[in-house]
Each structure stands twice: as structure tokens, then as C-alpha cells.
Amino acid sequence: MTDNNSETNELQPNTILSYAKDLPNICSLSGLACTIVAIYCSITGLYAAAMIGMVWAVAFDWADGLIARRMKGRTGDDSTFGGQLDVLIDIVSYGVTPAILLMSYGNFELIYLPGAFLMVAASALRLSYFSTFGLAGGKRYTGLALDNNSLILVAVFLLEGVISQSAFSVVLYVSSIGLAALNVSQIKTPKLSGNPVNVFILATYTLIITAIYSWKLL
């Protein structure tokens, strides 16, 4: 009886909140916080601030993977939990957030609803496919990786105010649908986040985007 109780205790998983202390998961949750800010700012029309939140969400997303690969002593459960957390946060950051941005800029008119649905649906399909099949050949993504959605949209949004609002609404809509199509396409794209050069490029891009939109806020 004692041996059975001991075995049962050993099989008990860690508590949910214990994983919130894991440094890679802290980065993931920090990215989620940036995403929540981006959603709030999109709804309230503070689009420049929303762009800053979106690009920093990507930066934290890349950081969690880099940290996880360099940390020693992480168990298989730690890696599995972190991977699941990433997937759930990704669909919010790169599917739901751009969809809300699109609807908000379109004053939540009904015509923008199909585009928003396609972005979220494409994200869900893309993540489910990746979770099932992983990288093609162990090196490349099938379909455009979702973090590109935010990186591209924050660049596209630089046109806002440069062209008319009606024209930009069309540009944003077309860009959103185009990204959704690329997310679920069969194109093969490289995994960028593990390369130190790409990390430096992302860091530079993040700072430049932050500086531009911070200036716009002023």
C-alpha cells in the first residue's frame, strides 16, 4: 500500500502556476501582455500604440525560444508545456489581434467580418498543421509562419495617413486576406527565429518600428 501511494505521488504533475515561473514562459506571457495592449489600442483607435504592442509580441515570442534552447535542466514536461503555451498565445497574437485591428479600422462594419474570420481560421489551421506535422524536412515551415503576419502588418500600417482612409482600408483588407492565404498555402519558408543574424535583424526592426510609432503618438 505504501509503495502504491509513493508511486501515485511521483506521478503527480507540477501545479499550473509553477510553470509561470519558467523564464521562457515568462517571455511568452510578456508577449501576451503586449498582445492584450495591442488589442485594447486597436479597439480604442490608438493604432500607433497597437503597432508597438504587435511588434514587441513577436520579439518576446522569439526570445522565449532562444532562452529555452540555452537553459539547462528543463524537463520534457517543461518543453511540452512551453510549446502548448506558445501555440495558444500565437493564435491570439497573430490571428485574433490582426482580425480585431482589421475590424476596428473598418469601424466594425459587417463587410470586415469575413476577413477577420479568415485570418483567425487560417491561424488555427496553420497552427494545427504545424502541431501535427512539424517542420517540413525538419528545417522549413509549410505555409507562411504566423509571426510574419504582425511583422508585415506593422510595416503596411505605415501607409496609414499617407493615403486616404478609404484607400488604406482596402490595402489593409487585401493585405490581411493575402496573409491568411499564405498562412495556409503549401509554400515552404525557413525557420528564422533560431538564427542569430535574424534575431539581430528582428531586434533592429523592433526598435525602428517602436521609434517610428512612438513619434506618431507624440
Q: pLDDT tens for residues 153-165?
A: 999 999 999 999 9
Q: pLDDT tens for residues 196-213?
A: 889 899 999 999 999 999
Distances (CA, A) of 65 to 125, 151, 162, 199, 204: 22, 18, 36, 11, 18
Task: Give me the pLDDT at residue 6, please.
Answer: 46
What mean pLDDT is reported for the chain? 91
pLDDT at 9 over 70: no
- Looking at residues 59-72, what average pLDDT do you find? 85
Ramachandran assignment for 22, one of left (phi > 0), alpha (psi -120 to 50 degrees), beta (any other): beta
pLDDT band at residue 86, thresholds of 50, 70 and 90?
very high
Q: pLDDT tens for residues 182-191?
A: 999 999 998 8
User: For domain 21-217, which architecture applies?
Assistant: Up-down Bundle (1.20)
